Amino acid sequence: MYGVAIIGTGSIGKTHVKAFINDSRAEIRALCSRTTAKCHEIIKEMLPERKSEITVTDDWHALLDRKDIDIVSIALPPQMHKDVTIAFLQHGKHVLLEKPMALSLAEEDEMMKAEKESGKKLGIIFQNRYYTAIQRAKKMLEDGYFGSILSVDVTSHWFRGSNYHNLYWRGTWGSEGGGTLTSQGVHQVDMLLWFMKGLPSSITAIMDNRKHTNSEAEDEGMAIMRFPDKAIASFSVSLSDMDEAQGFRFQCEKAAFTIPEWSLSVKKPQPNGYPEVDKEEEERLMNVFCSIPALTKEGHDAAVSYFIDAVENNTKPDASSEDGRNATAFIDAFYLSAATEQTVSLPLTEKAPVYTTEGLVSAMPKFFRKTISTESQSGTMTLGSASK
């Protein structure tokens, strides 16, 4: 049984709690929040039978030396990720960290150094990987059913009201590390890099803030890119889409497919070169798709269980710190290209203007000035189209 501490008990922290409860190998032994009332609410709702056993604290330092805690799940604002992660790694804890990994590549390099020196696991929550249709498509692609990837179109469109950034830690480059690409689009960034097996070789981007006036950072952006294997891709991100359209369309040598809403298309040329549907091949590929076993857990539940697997088997986490860093490298290259109106080559080096948090803050435009800051917000949280 692995003892677990959850650091941060806002909406996403509560989701972490549910996921650990759903894995019989884990037992939640501590909850930490600057507002301890939230911890008590979670215990009352989800773990009432263990009320007297779970530690509640507003100081994460108090948990560093706890011998009965093996895994720490961090659901704090991004500007706190580096210090809290490094401290727990150095005290012999495995760490599962909510996205984004940190504010900058420099911070993430420090975290990965602590991970290596500690011998413990550092994993990132990228829950959108863990849905049946997505996993099936990934396996079929890797098994060669679709041939090589020619192009990918990525849509990462979300909706948040203009008051979304009123929460105290949202809406500045220095506290959040970016805008909608960092906070929401990071899910599609991770999935793109996961499918493409690495970073693009170059990226050209534009961005703006059209509606979210309490945020310094972008609420719209678009990019085109080329990958080392010559595949090309487009990426569109928005925080103002009332349809919340999120998805991928892959054009491959042998077929086209979309995820997370699965669709498949296979065409063959007529004698004049115009297309006709290859019904036989479509049926064959659909049969392969349906034959791949469905996931027994999806979303956050799967992300947590995969991380526990890595701890239990002493293997690399499925969504690793390297994956978290790659996502940040993509995002920072996107921002740098948009800010400078130039194509940016990857990988970024330590000389890149956006390598440090200070460099990122200095290099980025401030679309609006944050003037409203609240401690908490009411309402429910949504997780995007993959979770529907």
Gap between the Cα atoms of 16 and 300, Å rounded: 7
| 294 alpha carbon, distance to own chain's centre | 22
Element holding 12 (H helix, E strand): helix 11-21
Residue 387: per-residue pLDDT: 64
Strand partners, 264: 257
Residue 386: per-residue pLDDT: 64
* Cα–Cα distance list, 121 to 71, 112, 116, 325 (Å): 9, 10, 9, 15
Gap between the Cα atoms of 140 and 284, Å rounded: 12
Residue 381: per-residue pLDDT: 72
Residue 382: per-residue pLDDT: 79
The amino acid sitting at 166 is N
84-140 tens-digit pLDDT? 999 999 999 999 999 999 999 999 999 999 999 999 999 999 999 999 999 999 999
Residue 380: per-residue pLDDT: 80
Contact 140, 285 (CB under 8 A): yes
Gap between the Cα atoms of 32 and 42, Å rounded: 11
Contact 81, 101 (CB under 8 A): yes
Gap between the Cα atoms of 177 and 364, Å rounded: 10
The answer, yes or no, to whether the previous bond of 365 is cis (omega within 30 of 0) is no
DSSP structure class, residue 244: -
* Cα–Cα distance list, 245 to 126, 158, 205 (Å): 18, 7, 20
Gap between the Cα atoms of 358 and 380, Å rounded: 33
pLDDT tens-digit profile, the chain (388 residues): 999 999 999 889 999 999 999 999 999 999 999 999 999 999 999 999 999 999 999 999 999 999 999 999 999 999 999 999 999 999 999 999 999 999 999 999 999 999 999 999 999 999 999 999 999 999 999 999 999 999 999 999 999 999 999 999 999 999 999 999 999 999 999 999 999 999 999 999 999 999 999 999 999 999 999 999 999 999 999 999 999 999 999 999 999 999 999 999 999 999 999 999 999 999 999 999 999 999 999 999 999 999 999 999 999 999 999 999 999 999 999 999 999 999 999 999 999 999 999 999 999 999 999 999 998 788 887 777 666 6
CA atoms within 13 A on the CB side of 219: 23
Gap between the Cα atoms of 165 and 181, Å rounded: 14
- Torsion-angle region of residue 233: left (phi > 0), alpha (psi -120 to 50) or beta? beta
